[in-house]
Amino acid sequence: MTAPAHRTGRIAIVGRPNVGKSTLLNRMVGTKISITSNRPQTTRHSLNAIVTEAGSQMVLIDTPGFQTVHGGELNRLMNRTVSDSIGGVDIVLFVIEAMKFGREDRKLLPLLPKDIPVLLIVNKVDKLADKSVLLPFLAETSKAFAFSEIVPVSAAKGTQVARLRELLKPYLPEGPAQHDEDEITDRSERFLAAELVREKLFRLLGEELPYAATVMVEKFEMQGDMRHIHIAIIVDKDNHKAMVIGKGGEKLKQIGTQARIDMEKLFGGKVFLELWVQVKSGWADSLKALKSLGYE
């Protein structure tokens, strides 16, 4: 009896901001690769994560939330990242929130490809007190597009995520694995370290400040068994700098401690992390500045 053919494919995860795309990716991989927070725009770069199982390999592409409200060069670059990520994939996962399918979600419908499978992922079903409202909602949203499957999940709790992985396999094209079995992302440790610092800005600072801040790795090197990482936090204004540093440097110390702990978990080794804050006015609206900071 002939063994089933190996299947390999690229899967883009798209949706408006804050629907849980990065949480879903992390849950599907089984470890934290993509940063998360409860605020929109946490994800600014696309990121590939790799799920290898017997007979299949999925390359999951996490994308920024598609911006329909805010303009500016940074948001335009992020929207272009979403559009570019959809091109050249084998499957698209369109993520929405349970009981929420509004104007921002519908604005992505024209971007969804007609010639490859598109699965509608209805996230955050764990938050529904009355589960009976879900079926009518699924029936209504199914009319918006010719979805190949509609899968209710809770990325935060892991509900139905294993089933989603199994549902995806038949849609993958036949082909050999493109990545080593133990590879879980194509991004470098340098990139992941920067992202973990940026995550802490979103989690530990006030409402507006994280959107006016970014990070840049100045040095990343191994010294014996320890990674020495130096990262600049770039902000737009002098008063932002004071907020990031905090009274007596406490806020910057908190950001650094939490980021370092996460880095040591992810990299599996000791980390020496040094952070400082620089003011670079107008960085988010300067294409030249954005490119110098790694935005593509």
Q: What percent of the chain has pLDDT over 90?
A: 55
Is beta strand 56-62 parallel, antiparallel or unpaired with respect to 47-53?
antiparallel
What is the distance between the alpha carbons of residues 175 and 182, in angstroms, rounded to a whole number?
A: 18
Q: What tens digit of pLDDT does each residue of 18-66 get?
A: 899 889 999 999 988 886 766 655 555 667 899 999 899 999 988 765 5
- Distance of alpha carbon 51 from alpha carbon 259, whole angstroms: 25
Give pLDDT tens digits for 205-226: 876 665 678 889 999 999 999 9
Query: What is the pTM assigned to this prediction?
Result: 0.81
All structural domains of the chain: 7-171 (3.40.50.300), 189-292 (3.30.300.20)
Q: How confident is the model at residue 286, as a pLDDT?
A: 64
- Confidence at residue 111, expressed as pLDDT on a 0 to 100 scale: 85
Of 15 and 82, more confident: 15
- 213: closest CA among 190, 232, 196, 188? 232
Residue 293's pLDDT band (cuts 50, 70, 90): low
Element at 175 (helix H, strand E): none
Q: For residue range 153-167, list pLDDT tens digits in order.
A: 999 999 999 999 999
Q: Average the pLDDT over 58-82 and give the result.
A: 63
Cβ distance 24 to 13 under 8 Å?
yes
